[in-house]
Amino acid sequence: MSETDAPEKITVKFIRDEPSETDFFGSHSRVATAVAEVIGDDNDIHVVGLLGSWGSGKSTVVSQIQKQLSARRDNIHFFNYDAWLYQNDPPRRSFLEALIQDLVQNSLSGETQWQERLADLSGRSEETVTETSRKLSLTGKWILGSLGLVPIGTVVLGRALDPKNIKDAPWMIWTGTALTLAPVVIAALFYLCWRPWRQNWFRGIFKSHFWVRHREPYGKQSILALLTNQSVERTEKKTKISPEPSVTEFRTVFRDILKSLRAKRERLIIVIDNLDRLAEAEALELWATIRSLFLGSTLNGIQRSELTLPTIILPIDEGSVQRIFRASEGHEARELARSFMDKTFDVSFYINDPVMSDWRAFLREKLEQAFGTSATDERVYWATKFVEDHAAIGSSSKKITPRSLVKLVNSVGVLIKQWGDGSIDFLSMVFFALHRMQINEDLRQFVNKDWPNADAAIKEWQRDIVALHYGVPREKAFQALLQEPLRLAISAKDEAEFSRLCEVVGFGPIFEEVIANPPASMPGQQTDFIANAALLVAGSDVSHELWAKRGMQNLASIWCDSGQPTNFRADFANAVRVLAPFTTEQRFLQASVGHLSASLPKSGISKDIAKNFVTALEAIQEAEKLISQKSPLVQLTLDPKNLFVLLEEVPSNLRPMIGSDKGANELVSTLSTWLENESESGNVANATRALASSVTIQFKDKVKPNWDSIVGTAYNTISGNTLSFHATGPAIDVLGILHSKNQNAKTHVEQLFDQGHLANRLNEADQAKDSPRLGDIAALMFLRGSDFAAPNGKTWDQVTTEDKEFVGNFDTALAWYMDGNRATFTHQGLQSRPSLKPIICELIKRDISEKTASGLTTDHLLTNIKKLDALIGTELLGKALSQASVRADFWPTFEKLKDGRPYDDAVMALSEVDAVDRSKLIENVKIRLAGHDAGTWKEAIFENVSPYNLAEIFGVTMGQSDPLGDGLRTALTDALLQLPQSDEGVRERWFFLSRFVSKDTRATLFKNLRDKIHSGTEFSDFAHLMRSGGSQILNEGKFEEFADKTIRHLTIPLLSTEIGLVYLAENIRFFSSCLAASDEETKNAVQEALLTAQNEFGEVEHDAVETVTSEFSVILKRSKEPAG
């Protein structure tokens, strides 16, 4: 539930923290009554301890004790000594001074009686030298003036007695008497003015001291002084400070005080309050004072029985007593405190904390007392809940006492006075007042903690708490809480702190406000701040929030206007990537390019910086695609050395994004100079390779480099120096890198090859066992296009065996010297360089084993299956095909292969590789086969050409039999006419291809063939025809439907050949059933043919003849038996 939003004027009445007039909790009255009875009934009880915790109501008990004792006896005087008030004064002196002052104020003693004693106690005495001059005082002037009226009065009285004035005698008598008595009247008036009327005159008027002691400043006057002159004195005072008076001196004064009180029949009750609030040393000293004044059998020589000893009431917290002793006694403090109290107190009373139900009612009363009608039932209910929660935390300092509740109410009152405009919820102020200490320790932790009752009672209590803590308007509360920590977290890119801040309610608007004003005290600080903020948001769990997206849009916009950074960021690319989706402005690309250019150091470009620069370029390139805009060039103002270090890491596709303030030929000239310089020649190859890329940076003059100068220098260096010369190796690299880019370089390589210079350098590298240079020179010679021998009379097998690194170095050199796929390039060059077969073979194997066959193009791999199989073996070939099959261009390239041997070889090889997508391969082959027309298929049937070989792979190797289209069906139908006189191969191809038409089509083809056979058409090598058709032609051609014709035109001819007999034996059941259904005449013909077959082929095809004879004889014999 929540409070109304309407402003409310709350009237506040603060509650004094003083003893209560009434006993709200009941227990206080019981204790007070008991103490009053003990004190009133027993004069021997002198020290009463009231033990209770802070705020438990000890002062209330004392107040009620005083009230009850005053009601019972008239001669009891209470003296309250607040030890805390006098904590910095000497305890004995301050105690007696306070006691005497109290007695004087209550007219139980005169001040003059104790002035000198107090001075002695205070350790001060004075010597006074007085010079006196007399002058008439004010009272003297009045009396002197009134004396002049006396003679006049006597004259008037005399005339009043004259009989002549009998008429005027009354008034003359009164006038004369008044004038005569004027000095006496004036003296009496002054005397009455000097009475101590303000000091309890109602009771004191009947006591002698009221009439004999004048009030100040007339204390030293006498009645006779009315008639004297006033003294004018000049006084010189000298004060002497004596040492601290002893205990005996203090006890003497205290004894005299008690004697004076006994004379007045007054009993003294002394309350020493707040002793437990003193520092340890001061508390112990006051304890000693109490003991010195009140303990012992005598008091400076006078027996206690001769005095009316006071009763001391000491309200104290037992825990505080332990604290006092703990400072000096440590772990024994508890025992010492208990022992000390036992010896000090004659009797002890314990004041317990109020019970829970009591304090709730007490809190309600105080809230209503302080806030009137604003303390509604609802507010009281939730305030009570808050107090319960606060107490449940468990700290002893959070114990519920009357004082703590009064303090709470007053604290809320103070807050209401400060926030009287109604903007802060009343219950929020209660909640704040309760938890102020915890809030001060860690505000953010507090507002993020789970407080169910606060959530239920107050809407957005967190905002109220923050406003109260910082003293800011409610609407700016979270801003005050989060702004500075958020700014620091972003500046430091503190992910953990940022995540914690994100969890605070209301974080979003503050984040937007903070990023709207990024710091700008240092150049580039803004850009770093924006990048940090973007990366923190993107990496947090709140990046999907609406405020986060809006914030990223703002950051992307501010990024465009922020100052140029001065330091290069390793995560610059990440900043661009997370910001790019939140803008469509081309100026974002401009700003990103500008920031990147400005942040690069002008020198000292390291490999790491170069790599991070590349990722930054990639991020800008990605942003270009998102924004659909082109970014400007990243302008570099680096010296050649650092430029070359950077470009070495930049891939060719990113180099067009870079512009340089150097001209192309200026850089080439620099490289030519470096090649001749021993300290710089080692950097030439890398720099040349970076600049010579087919896609490179944009130079200042926007022209391509002219390499002739450095090419000429490289040629002269190689031809005129041995390999040990510092520039020979770099010169070889220069010619290799520029071989395909500069005609002079190509020409010079040919010249060096033909003149034997390269062969010489090759021999030198082998002799020096310089494997990297051996690979470089061999690669450069390979580019010449001619075969060449291994160094120093060796074979290349020996070289690759002796130097395990050679092939890798050769491959690396080729990667530097040429664009494209090296394995493909070398394999294509095998025919013209046959002696280099060992190198080429190992290079291709290495490419497949270590580089997923990346050096073999898909087209080259698929079109050279047989050659590669012969070179590297079936296993490695299968691995290469497996690796290549996942390439994006694999299936498109496969589909583009022409019909014939390359395609068939590829299908055959792929069908045996498990990793290849078999369903895709089958579908591809099927489409290829189904796309052929009838003419192509007829040619395949009669000439055994493509696509028959592919169909065999499709059917046999791949196990497929799906129909392959109308072209094949037509071709089979047309070929059927020529089948009787065709050779064995045609017939086998016809029957094999018949499996790739539909079942109905095949049945029709076989029935047509059956009809030809039944019609008596002459077939060459008929038995081979039937063996080619197998049992399938018998079943699907439905030969059994015409059993007699089948026996006459098929069975009897088959009995005349060896192959025919074998075919009959293989299908004996089919033919037996046809024989059983044939005519008698046909059976007789079979009998004759069977006898002939037995005679001719009984020995050659014994098993087949035996099988056929056995089965047929049974049928023939059965047909001759009579029916029945």
What pLDDT digit, counting tens, does each position of 702-761 carry?
888 999 999 999 999 999 999 999 999 999 999 999 999 999 999 999 999 999 999 999
3-state secondary structure of 48: strand
Q: Mean pLDDT check: name the lowest of 4-13, 197-206, 846-855.
A: 197-206
Confidence of residue 1 (pLDDT cuts 50, 70, 90): very low
CA–CA dist 853, 274 (Å, integer)? 93
pLDDT higher at 214 or 1008:
1008
**What confidence category does residue 2 fall into, taking pLDDT thresholds of 50, 70 and 90?**
very low
- Residue 920 inside a domain? The answer is no
Average pLDDT score over residue span 25-31: 71
CA distance 467 to 472: 5
Q: Which amino acid is at 812?
A: T
Assess whether the previous peptide bond of 1122 is cis (omega < 30° from 0): no
Q: What is the CA radius of gyration of the chain?
A: 63
Total structural domains within the chain? 5
Question: Is 863 part of any domain?
Answer: no
The CATH code of the domain that includes 89 is 3.40.50.300
Please indicate, yes or no, whether residues 585 and 605 belong to a single structural domain of this protein.
yes
Q: What is the pLDDT of residue 349?
A: 84
pLDDT for residue 1057 is more than 70 = yes
Q: Across the chain, what does the average pLDDT equal? A: 84
Instruction: Classify 437 as helix, strand or coil.
Output: helix
pLDDT in tens, 596-614: 998 888 778 888 999 999 9
Residue 867 has pLDDT above 90, yes or no: yes
Query: Where does a domain end: 614, 643, 672?
Result: 643
The answer to whether residues 371 and 435 belong to one domain is: yes
Residue 815 lies in a domain: no
Structural domain includes residue 768: no
Is 546 in the same domain as 637?
yes
d(CA 879, CA 913): 8
User: Roughly what angle, to the nearest 10 degrees, separates helices 149-160 and 182-193?
Assistant: 130
Same domain, 49 and 93: yes
Is pLDDT above 50 for 4? Answer: no
Q: Which of 578, 611, 643 delimits the end of a domain?
A: 643
Give the position of tokens 């005497």.
Answer: 100
Read off the pLDDT of each residue in 790-810 and give the average, rounded to a whole number: 94
Task: State the pLDDT at residue 973.
Answer: 94
Of 780 and 466, more confident: 780
Answer yes or no: is 765 within a domain.
Answer: no
Question: Looking at the predicted structure, is the pLDDT value of residue 322 above 50?
Answer: yes
Q: Is residue 956 part of a domain?
A: no
Q: The domain containing residue 544 runs over which residues?
A: 481-643
The answer to whether residue 2 is domain-embedded is yes
Q: What is the DSSP string of 607-624?
A: HHHHHHHHHHHHHHHHHH
pLDDT recorded at residue 393: 76
pLDDT at position 337: 72
3-class secondary-structure state, position 659 = strand
Q: What is the pTM of this model?
A: 0.54
Q: Which of 643, 663, 693 is the last residue of a domain?
A: 643
pLDDT digits (tens, 9 = 90+) for 922-971: 999 999 999 999 999 999 999 999 899 999 999 999 999 999 999 999 99
pLDDT at 142 over 60: yes
Domain shared by 213 and 168, yes or no:
yes
Tokens of 269: 């009750």
If asked whether residues 255 and 368 sit together in one domain, one would say: no
Distance from C-alpha of 255 to C-alpha of 1106, rounded to nearest angstrom: 158
Nearest Cα to 553, choosing from 525, 582, 590, 529? Answer: 582
How far is it, in rounded angstroms, from Cα 1036 to Cα 339? Answer: 123
Task: Find the range with the poorest average confidence among 315-324, 975-984, 1085-1094.
Answer: 315-324
User: Do residue 540 and residue 489 come from a single domain?
Assistant: yes
Vertex 386: Cα angle to 383 and 388 (nearest 5): 110
Using one digit for the tens of pLDDT, what is the confidence trace for 616-654? Answer: 999 999 999 999 999 999 999 888 888 888 888 898 889
Is residue 6 over pLDDT 70?
no
Statement: residue 296 has pLDDT above 60:
no
Evaluate whether residue 72 is within a structural domain.
yes
> Over the stretch 340-384, which tens digit does the pLDDT of each residue have?
777 777 788 888 765 545 788 888 988 988 889 888 999 999 999
User: In the predicted model, what is the mean pLDDT of residues 528-543?
Assistant: 91
Together in a domain, 93 and 219: no
Q: Do the beta carbons of residue 504 and residue 444 sit within 8 Å?
A: yes
Whether 270 and 376 map to the same domain: the answer is: no
Per DSSP bridges, beta strands 124-136 and 229-241 are antiparallel
Indicate whether 277 and 170 sit together in one domain: no
Answer yes or no: do 154 and 100 share one domain: no
Of the candidates 736, 809, 737, which has an alpha carbon nearest to the alpha carbon of residue 769?
809
Q: Are residues 218 and 147 in the same domain?
A: yes
Q: Model confidence over 434-445: pLDDT tens digits?
A: 999 888 888 878
User: Is it the case that residue 74 has pLDDT exceeding 90?
Assistant: no
Q: Please check whether residue 943 is in contact with residue 975, taking contact to mean a CB–CB distance below 8 angstroms.
A: no
* Candidate from 66-80, 378-392, 546-560 with smallest mean pLDDT: 66-80
Assign 113 a pLDDT band (cuts: 50, 70, 90). Answer: low
Q: Quick check: 563 pLDDT over 60?
A: yes
Confidence of residue 26 (pLDDT cuts 50, 70, 90): low
